Chain A
Amino acid sequence: MLASIVTLGLIGLLAACALGFAAKKFHVEIDPREQALLDILPGANCGACGYPGCAGYAKGVVASGSIADICPPGGQTVMQKVAKIMDLAPVTANPQISVVICQGDNKKAVQKYNYLGLTDCRAAQKLADGPKTCPAGCLGLGTCAMICPFGAIEMTPDSLAVIDRKKCTGCGKCVKACPRFVIKLTPLDATTHVLCNSHDKGALVRKYCQVGCIACQICKKTAPGAYEIENMLASVVYDQHREADQAVDKCPTHCIRNFASGYPDGSRFAAPTVPIKKTKAA
């Protein structure tokens, strides 16, 4: 009994000494600012800043002495702290949020073919340009949801990607991953969007989607400053987004939506919603 206690104690002591020695011997001097930065960064390692992860960002900022590369998920609050640590003038981050500009789930949009294979939109897009007849709509295989570092994207039961406005930080990873470019970064305070990405003519759009923009001009007539129609597709002029809401009920195909009054059909996100981050933070 005593022998075992002594033996174990000795082993423990030896290991402790070894650890202590290693900690001293292999100690690496780092700039204290790097640690300070790391402490205030969001820690999602999303890579939206252009560096590999938050540690990479902290290292990069300290090394370059510049904060020109901003941390989109951190937003204004974090960037102000970064500026303070680095003793530089704050760089304003324009708070943004991702929006899937499509409502054509499997019930509302026509399938071009039965897709068999990897559950990955990028793979499906390589086969005859994706299983939806619409050339630009959401494929619904969830690549964006898989890739989102914040778990902010859900797939509805009818396979449409919907972004949670409370969780999205605007890091833009989904925007880059989507093979159909159906996710756009938009100003955080704009809640009204045209949820269609097809530039096809109205008659063609009607053939394959119940909720596509047919470029009928009604939104533009209702709120002239807030909409523009380019290449058969309407979009909100985000400088004027406050007026855009007037056209929501007028759109004949219901492809304009104000997220403040609800998410697209099938989404489990609670409605109505407002963004968590205030534009005029701090």
Chain B
Amino acid sequence: MSSSALKTFPGGLHPPDSKQATAGKPIELSPLPVELILPLSQHIGAPAEACVEVGEFVLKGQMIGRAKGFVSVPIHASTSGEVIAVEPRIHPSGRLLPSIVIKPDGEESWCELFPADPEKLTAAELIERILQAGIVGMGGATFPTHVKLSPPDDKPIDTLILNGVECEPFLTADHRLMLEAPKQILAGINILRKILQVEKTWIGIEANKPDAIALLQELCAGTGIEVVPLAVKYPQGAEKQLILALTGREVPSGSLPMEVGVVVQNVATAAAIATAVIEGKPLVDRVGTISGPLIKKPKNLRFHCGTPLQHLVDLCGGIEHPPAKILAGGPMMGQTQLTLEAPATRGTSGLLLFAKEDLPLRPQTPCIRCGRCVQVCPAGLLPTTIAAYVRLDLIEAAEQTSAMDCIECGCCSYSCPAAIPLVQSLRQAKGMILEKRRGA
């Protein structure tokens, strides 16, 4: 297959994929850490509300935080044990946020589970189960899944897309999951198809995972699910870019995918949905890639939500020097962490550790207008122009230059020879525009 024949999107670039360290490594199970820190905010939207008290004994899968509002999900104990604290703890965002701390008893005793046959449930019942299981988008955005599955009536959905692209360098968790649990993913897809009643289902996978493509193509034969290899290009896994590549539909500026009748779900989310609906188990663990130049034995680990990052590092051979940069997620869009004491949560698709030598620490120099940021921007923006407006505090001009259409993929900063923090400028612009809109 020639690469020119593969579907893709305009813009983007090819960062070194750095996946070889873990792509061939089967998922290992992480043993229990000494304590689990479960933030009440592990998703986008309103934080859950704690419904257990210090000293209480909880079972694995028991709800310990109640969803608060529509765009919110409950939080569950990821193992059995004693609640030893309900207090602000360091969160992956770097802030101190309310968390429930559990000291595991080592038994992993599940609470009472209610397995079900998805065939016998209605769409509404399925969505309710997904909400109660606390399922969120596991690609990293952690948007509550039940919200995505409940589009308003005037937005008919005809297409379901499963995102198995995993275009972030280093990360191989989805790749391994597709290889090791394809049936579970398919079961999840079938549940999603039943809920959405779609005509067409695609699984998009970057062509650098031929084994996963072949396996899923074989399993999907005759099911009406089409597995499509996509060009290897970052950010192929960005929602709107993926929709364009697969369906040719372009999500209008400022709208959600449902505007063009599409729902996109990550393959790991599909697997979590299957577990939640069929086995009745809520989202209490996930697979993440622990890698980066400082990690001695990079691995794909299935860990309990709330596991301190230090525990994951220890499982991968520990580190000799303190890391200069700790990343939760991939290197293009991941979040820097203040400390390894922070927990891995439902959205932690990877943990990457870098030494100082691995970091781009060049000082910023003046823009030479080379236009690289413009050429790679998948959203068709003028990043350097918007950054200049931000520097001059011209927020209205930034808004008129379509700053709100930025998807924060990082291509502009990645390619900038002057080391200008373009994405951060765009984030700043977006934040200030939203602030202004709220004020107006």
Contacts and interface: CB of A to CB of B under 8 A. Distances in A.
Q: Do chains A and B touch in the complex (CB under 8 A)?
A: yes
Contacts of A123: 424-425, 427-428
A113 B428 contact: no
A146 interface: yes
Contacts of A117: 421, 424
Interface in A68-115: 112-113
Interface in A118-162: 118, 120, 122-123, 126-129, 146-147
B427 A126 contact: yes
A96 to B, nearest CB: 23
B421 A118 contact: yes
Contacts of A116: 359, 361, 421
Name the residue in A113, A118, A126, A129 with the highest tally of chain B Cβ atoms < 10 Å from its Cβ.
A118
B68 interface: no
A255 to B, nearest CB: 24
Interface string A245-263: 0000000000000000000
Nearest to A130: B94
B25 to A, nearest CB: 31
Given A118-B428, A120-B428, A122-B428, A127 B393 contact: no
A120 B338 CA distance: 20
Given A116-B361, A146-B393, A126 B431 contact: yes
B95 interface: yes
Contacts of B432: 122
A120 B425 CA distance: 9
B150 interface: no
Interface string B374-409: 000000000000000010010000000000000000
A186 to B, nearest CB: 25
B336 interface: yes
Contacts of A113: 338
A128 B95 contact: yes
A112 B338 contact: yes
Contacts, number: 35
Interface in B415-440: 421, 424-425, 427-428, 431-432
A118 B424 contact: yes
B253 interface: no
A127 B428 contact: no
B95 A118 contact: no
B247 interface: no
A223 B257 CA distance: 64
B93 interface: yes
A122 B393 CA distance: 12
Interface in B309-345: 336, 338
A126 B95 CA distance: 10
B95 A129 contact: yes
B366 to A, nearest CB: 14
Interface string B68-101: 0000000000000000000000000111000000
B41 to A, nearest CB: 15
Contacts of B431: 122, 126
Interface in B223-263: none
Interface in A225-269: none
Contact of A147 (B93, B359, B393): B393
B374 to A, nearest CB: 20
A127 B421 contact: no
A200 to B, nearest CB: 12
Name the residue in A116, A122, A146 with the highest tally of chain B Cβ atoms < 10 Å from its Cβ.
A116
Given A112-B338, A118-B428, A128 B393 contact: no
A91 to B, nearest CB: 26
Name the residue in A123, A128, A147 with the highest tally of chain B Cβ atoms < 10 Å from its Cβ.
A128
A128 B428 contact: no
Contacts of A118: 390, 421, 424-425, 428
14 contacts: A113-B338, A116-B361, A117-B424, A120-B390, A122-B431, A123-B425, A123-B427, A126-B427, A126-B428, A127-B94, A128-B94, A128-B95, A128-B338, A146-B393
Interface of A: 112-113, 116-118, 120, 122-123, 126-129, 146-147
Q: Which 10 A-B pairs have the closest CB atoms?
A: A128-B94, A117-B421, A118-B424, A123-B428, A117-B424, A118-B421, A128-B338, A129-B95, A123-B424, A113-B338
Given A118-B425, A127-B94, A127-B336, 20 more contacts: A112-B338, A113-B338, A116-B359, A116-B421, A117-B421, A118-B390, A118-B421, A118-B424, A118-B428, A120-B428, A122-B428, A122-B431, A123-B424, A123-B427, A123-B428, A126-B427, A128-B336, A128-B338, A129-B94, A129-B95
